[in-house]
Amino acid sequence: MRALVLSGLLVTLVAGRMVSQRLPPPLFPSARTHDLPGAAIRARVASEPNIGSPLLAAAGLGLLGWGVGAVAGHAIQGDCFEEYCGLEGIFYGGAAGGGMGLAVGAHLGNRRRGSFPLDVLTSGAVWGVGYALMSSFANDGDGAGVVLTAIMLPPTQLVATVLVERATGRSRAGRLQAP
Closest CA to 110 of 32, 45, 57: 57
Vertex 131: Cα angle to 133 and 79 (nearest 5): 140
By percentage, how much of the chain surpasses pLDDT 90? Answer: 51
Sign of the alpha-carbon dihedral angle for 147, 151, 153, 156 = negative
Counting every residue, how long is the chain? 179
DSSP state of 39: -
Give the pLDDT band of residue 179 (cuts 50, 70, 90): low
**Mean pLDDT calculated for residue range 135-143:** 91
**Mean pLDDT calculated for residue range 116-124:** 96
Domain boundaries of the chain, sorted by first residue: 52-177
Lowest mean pLDDT, pick from 12-16, 38-42, 95-99, 144-148: 38-42
Kindly tell me if the per-residue pLDDT of 36 is higher than 90. no
**pLDDT at res. 33:** 56
CA–CA dist 142, 85 (Å, integer): 22
Closest CA to 153 of 62, 79, 67, 21: 62
Contact, 53 vs 109, CB < 8 A?
Answer: yes
How deeply is 12 buried, as exposed, middle or buried, from its count of CB atoms within 10 A (0-12, 13-18, 19+)? exposed
pLDDT digits (tens, 9 = 90+) for 39-89: 455 555 567 778 899 999 999 999 999 999 999 998 888 777 777 777 888
